[in-house]
Amino acid sequence: WDFPAAEQAYRKAIELNPNCAPPYVWLGHVLDVVGRPAEALPLMERAQQLDPLSPHIHWSVAEAYMLAGDFNKAEQKCREAIALHADFWPAYTLLGNVYLWQRDYARAIINMNKAVEVSGRHPYALGMLVSAYALAGERRQALLVVAELNRISKAKDVAPPVMVRAYASLGDRAHAVEWMRNAYDGRCNETPRIPLWGPVVASLHGYGPYENLLKLMNVPH
């Protein structure tokens, strides 16, 4: 959880090889985590200039625009990623998330369901679908997907942040933080990005156990 050291290392990587795209993306993600999205966006754009066909970089640029509040540009970048790689299902989840942040629940649900379909019901996509149903007020549908995630978890590992998302969306703070503790203890790489989930984690704001975990991870509240 040493983000200044991570930033320094990525900047050194860029200095050593300024034409390599991934360090720009990874540095951008670090800056997003520590609350500096305005600095992250040009790094993501530079990565895309270096590797314009990468679906992962398209995703990162789109998310950077979303975090900066430019939803139109975020939607555009998601659609560009889908046009290039129709089977890259994270682009559908991110597009759904862009709509979720704008409270356009109908389109959020459509795109999350598309991600579930294209991914073959990947747990991450299912977790995103829970968010869409829960925030849309379709609690029964959300709980059905949570039940599916719990069934999957008995047969194979489900990344703890997936369950954090599901339970936080439903307002179940105790279970959300229990899974977040698992994510923290297991050093899941998505864990410090949980505060970036916007409306998904609104129910956790001000909740002591959640705030304590953020302190342990050295991320802004």
pLDDT at residue 4 in the model: 94
Residue 181 confidence class, pLDDT cut points 50, 70, 90 = very high
Which residues have CB under 8 Å from 100's CB, separation 6+? 108, 131, 132, 135, 198, 199, 200
Residue 157 confidence class, pLDDT cut points 50, 70, 90 = confident
Does residue 116 surpass a pLDDT of 90?
yes
Which residues have CB under 8 Å from 199's CB, separation 6+? 100, 101, 103, 135
22-26, 28-32, 187-191, 207-211: least confident range: 187-191
pLDDT at residue 221 in the model: 62
pLDDT, mean over the chain? 94
Residue 123 confidence class, pLDDT cut points 50, 70, 90 = very high
Does residue 189 surpass a pLDDT of 80?
yes
Does residue 73 surpass a pLDDT of 90?
yes
